[in-house]
Chains A and B, each alone.
Chain A
Amino acid sequence: MLFLQFLANGVLVGGVYALLALGIVFIYRATQIFNFAVGDMVLFGAFICWSFLVWLHWPIWISVIMALVISMGLGLMIERFLMRPMIGQPLLAAVMATLGLSLFLRGVMSFIWSPSTLSYPTKLFPGKPINLGGIVFSDELLWAFGMAMVVFVFLAVFFYRSKVGLGMRTTAEDHEMAQATGINVKRIFAITWLTAGLVAALGGMLLGARVGLCVGSTPLIALKAFPAVIFGGLESIAGAIIGGLIVGILENLAGGLIDPKIAEITPYIILLIMLMIRPEGLFGLKRIERI
């Protein structure tokens, strides 16, 4: 019974990781850039929602929508001022830029919202825990799981069925080559980061509702999406979902059955093992390189 409860928790926590992992994979597949600022973008969206709720006393649904819109704006700003100058530069530089962005956002956020932990005054999403034959499903996590599934279906269709998605896949192969074939790489970048902002804000509100908003610790939780991404395979959208779920499950099982303290590093141990035995992940592409 206990095992099943931890399993259920794991599946649901995995939903949050899967959502964040989707954002990372999406950016990687469209631009070949690894976004280390994902944790801070996540927190930013959550803080925006909090501000509308607490400072302006707006209704929940408007606050949520405003958070999504402003986060998308943030994504556009990142693209325009940071990522666009990086087109054609070494990918290493672009990845470093996201690290710089991560620090910058962290500083700005602790400036505006103070470095202490805040929490939402009310429940963001309606519902109460469901008890299914003795196993409790927390409603916040059910929401996260559901959202992850919806975003997954949306992104997958967008990626494989739309013209913009095709453009993204081309851009990921080679920025300059894509430009030469008439793809507007700037627009692709803009759409990518806009979507990334949207997904990050969604994940942020779900995460914030569960663990609170803290500049110091919340981005670290979001970083656990990286093991999920590696596990599922960097190139695979379905892999992000499965990787997120497996990392969530293993983390909860290890924490519940072995030692609660080991839970926090389980994802990273999984990450190391995966990197050694199957670096391309479960569903990733094995790169064949030529000189």
Chain B
Amino acid sequence: MDRPCGVFDETYTQDVAVVRTGAHWGIVVAALILLFLLPQFFPGSLLANINAVFITIISVLGLQIIVGYTGQISLGQAAFMSVGAYTSFMLSVYWHLPFLIALPLSGVSAGLVGIVFGLPSLRIKGFYLAMATLAAQFIIPWLIVNLYPEVTGGTRTMVVPPPTIAGIKFTNQLSMFYVITPVLILSLYLVKNLIRTRVGRAFIAIRDNDLAAEVMGVGVFKYKLMAFFISSFYAGIAGSLWAHWMRCVAVDHFSLLDSIWFLGMIVVGGLGSVSGAVMGTIFIRVLDILVKEIGPWLGEIFPSIAGAATASLGPTIFGLVMMLFLVLEPRGLAHRWERVKAFYRLWPFPY
């Protein structure tokens, strides 16, 4: 159905392919090459922003699975990210494990914590579950600070060593870019395919109507826990990358506010869409960077609000964007992009 005029599938392999036509392959390869050449076009501090955006995309992808595909609001994504970050920190500092082992392990540990907070989903759903994840957002940082402060450093900021793969130390933004980008591409590829499998279809069935899904033989509880695990796994991977990229961990990096930002990115990008998660994150982060540029400039024009302008403009504009999208375009940027693509495919016919 979504192929240009005159292109037909002749085999089953063609029918299930993600990349469908020759032109499509060309675009994908060109985009990948461009992606890896990105540091050439954006040197210096812009590259740091790109790294931050890429890490955020991984976390938001996880949230997209639980919110956009399984239909359970999660307010704890930032807390699960912190689990990954601290696991990575402890594994690499105390046990001196190499980065490539610490990375998946932090994903797994975050995933297990995610399952613990997903357990109430046996009996509850919707807003009640949002409450359970809200509790996670308060309990996890508290445990990190108070349970074993001599191990996690309590409220102090702890230093994380740079990641080392095969003897090469990744110390600057440029080299970190080449660590983060492959992980991002792999995550995108996995999520894109996950939602086309039996598991992904079960998630979507639960989102659309959990009772109907149960009646049709989908083990709702099992799949909900699985969604929690995968979602938190992504958060953990993102957290681990974040810790190694920032080269430090602190509880304040992962607050309730960050969780709400992640949710907002999904709303802006479009619920239930992988490209939506990417577009929403980029949109919000670019907006955020612009606001940070405009803030001081506003402060020069109105000196009386100089101090407050920079700090408060971000949440104001972000909240406004989130509300505007919900009221005016609830299906998000991804829906707009689909319309553009449909126009291209059907051209020169209107439908």
Contact A264 B142 (CB under 8 A): yes
The smallest C-beta distance from B323 to any residue of chain A, in angstroms, reads 4
Given A103-B260, A104-B320, check contact A230 B128 (CB 8 Å).
Answer: yes
Cα–Cα, bound, A276→B120 (Å): 5
Indicate with 1 or 0, residue by residue over B160-203, a CB within 8 angstroms of chain A CB atoms.
Answer: 00000000000000000000000000000000000000000000
How far, in angstroms, from A226 to B135 measured CA to CA in the complex?
A: 10
Q: Is the CB of B211 within 8 A of A104?
A: no
Enumerate chain A residues within 8 angstroms of B127, measured Cβ to Cβ.
34, 95, 234
CB of B282 within 8 Å of the partner chain: no
Contact A108 B215 (CB under 8 A): no
Interface: A111 (CB within 8 A): yes
* Chain A, interface residues (CB within 8 Å), range: 35 or more
- Asked if B322 lies at the interface with its beta carbon under 8 angstroms from chain A, I say yes
Interface centre among B138, B312, B326 (most CB of A within 10 A): B326
Q: Are A272 and B120 in contact (CB under 8 A)?
A: yes
Q: A102-B319, A279-B124 are in contact. Are A107 and B313 (CB under 8 A)?
A: yes
| Number of B positions contacting A (CB below 8 A) | 51
Least CB distance from A29 to B in Å reads 13
Complex Cα gap A51–B119 (Å): 46
B319 close to A111 (CB less than 8 A): no
Q: Is A150 an interface residue (CB 8 A)?
A: no
In whole Å, how far is B243's beta carbon from the nearest beta carbon of chain A? 23
| Chain A contacts for B315, CB-based, 8 A | 103-104, 106-107, 110
A105 within 8 A of B: yes
Cβ B320 vs Cβ A85 within 8 A: no
Chain B hits for A275, CB < 8 A: 120, 123-124, 128, 131-132
Q: Say if the beta carbon of A115 comes within 8 Å of chain B.
A: yes
* Pairwise interchain contact A271-B131, C-beta atoms closer than 8 A: yes
A271 touches B135 (CB 8 A): yes
Of the 9-residue stretches A86-94, A124-132, A245-253, which lies at the interface with chain B? A86-94
Q: Check if A230 sits within 8 Å of B316, measured CB to CB.
A: no
- Is B40 an interface position by the 8 A CB rule? no
Instruction: Tell me if B312 and A34 are in contact (CB < 8 A).
Output: no
Q: C-beta contact mask, A52-86 vs B, less than 8 Å → 1, else 0?
A: 00000000000000000000000000000110011
| CB closest chain-B residue, reference A114 | B308
Can you pick out 11 interface pairs between chain A and chain B where the beta carbons lie within 8 Å of each other? A86-B326, A95-B127, A100-B267, A107-B313, A111-B316, A234-B127, A265-B142, A272-B132, A276-B122, A276-B123, A290-B211
**A residues bordering B, Cβ < 8 Å?**
34, 81-82, 85-86, 89, 91-93, 95-97, 99-112, 114-115, 220, 223, 226-227, 230, 234, 261, 264-265, 268-269, 271-272, 275-276, 279, 289-291
11 additional contacts (CB under 8 A) given A97-B322, A230-B128, A271-B134 = A96-B73, A107-B314, A110-B311, A110-B315, A114-B308, A227-B131, A227-B135, A269-B135, A271-B132, A271-B135, A279-B128
Task: Report, nearest first, the 5 A-B pairs whose CB atoms are least far apart.
Answer: A104-B319, A107-B316, A100-B322, A107-B315, A103-B319
